[in-house]
Copies of this chain bind each other. A is one copy, B any other.
Amino acid sequence: MVTEEMREPTFLVLSALADAPRHGYGVMREVLDMSDGRVRLRTSTLYAALERLLADGLVAEAGRETVDGRLRRYYALTDPGRERLTAEVARLTANAAEADRRLRLRPATA
């Protein structure tokens, strides 16, 4: 696995599923919440991402239920999904740390 770049919306979807399985709309709310209102996923982005993650085996369907006449499709992070997310966290952390180090090497308005 070459760990190619993962875009932010996709990363946040995996992140939202890291602690518990959720349904699509639940992921949307969770992402909005955990990004302090910064990232509002479009349904096109959300469902396309979930389809892609399902196809890649990073996420699996975790049952369906109907609440108040509305269908809910649940999704859960798989083990490969956890590994992938962990790898992404390491990449982001390393990138951020290195950039921060470089910024400190030459402070603003030197």
Contact = CB atoms under 8 A, between A and B. Distances in A.
Assembly of this chain: how many copies?
A: 2
A85 B103 contact: yes
A96 B14 CA distance: 12
Interface residues of A, number: 32
A1 interface: no
Contacts of A93: 92-93, 96
Contact of A19 (B12, B95, B102): B102
Interface stretch (A3-11, A46-54, A55-63, A64-72): A3-11
Contacts of A8: 5, 95
Contact of A82 (B12, B95, B103): B103
